[in-house]
Amino acid sequence: MEKTTAKHMSTAQMTVTALMTAITCILAPMALPIPISPVPISLTNLVIFFMAYILGMKLSVASYLLYLLLGTVGLPVFSGFTGGVGKLLGPTGGYLIGFIFLAAIAGFFVEKFPAKIYMHVVGMIIGMAICYIFGTAWLAGQLGMSFVAALGIGVIPYLPGDTAKIIIAIIAGPQIRKTVSRFM
């Protein structure tokens, strides 16, 4: 994808950024609640991994922030087809904020090391770790529990699925990036 400046964004970049926001709005609400946690299994991080390949760092963050804004103003785009400030301030709000850092870090690593898949994995893992820290700290505060206890219900059960999402992203992401870049 061509470089983006604050002053200029191509029509194709705007279109693809909006499209990725729409895909997030479609897939993120389709969450699977699990009985041991108020945090559902979501496809949000998988979409963000693909954003990193398609949009790079700046536009991934912009796309995710647009999604977050849409949900915050009340559109039912958050997990379970919910929206509003209450969701952002609820137990999963820290993860919603943490995804901003996931988009930035994963996007940076994909841009900075375009041919080094192992570095993409490193960026996705670091981004998820930062997201987990924000989410776990917020969850612990919301539920009045220790950080370690919050890890047990807000991170540990999700590690296998999030690992699978990273594998899916590194397999499909470069191919998707190549396909999309032909139209950019």
Identify the pLDDT of residue 182.
Answer: 83
Supply the DSSP string of 91-116, one letter for each residue: TTHHHHHHHHHHHHHHHHHHHHSTT-
Identify the pLDDT of residue 3.
Answer: 52
Per-residue pLDDT of the chain (184 residues; tens, 9 = 90+): 545 555 688 999 999 999 999 999 999 999 999 999 999 999 999 999 999 999 999 999 999 999 999 999 999 999 999 999 999 999 999 999 999 999 999 999 999 999 999 999 999 999 999 999 999 999 999 999 999 999 999 999 999 999 999 999 999 999 999 999 887 7
Report the distance separating Cα 184 and Cα 53, nearest Å.
13
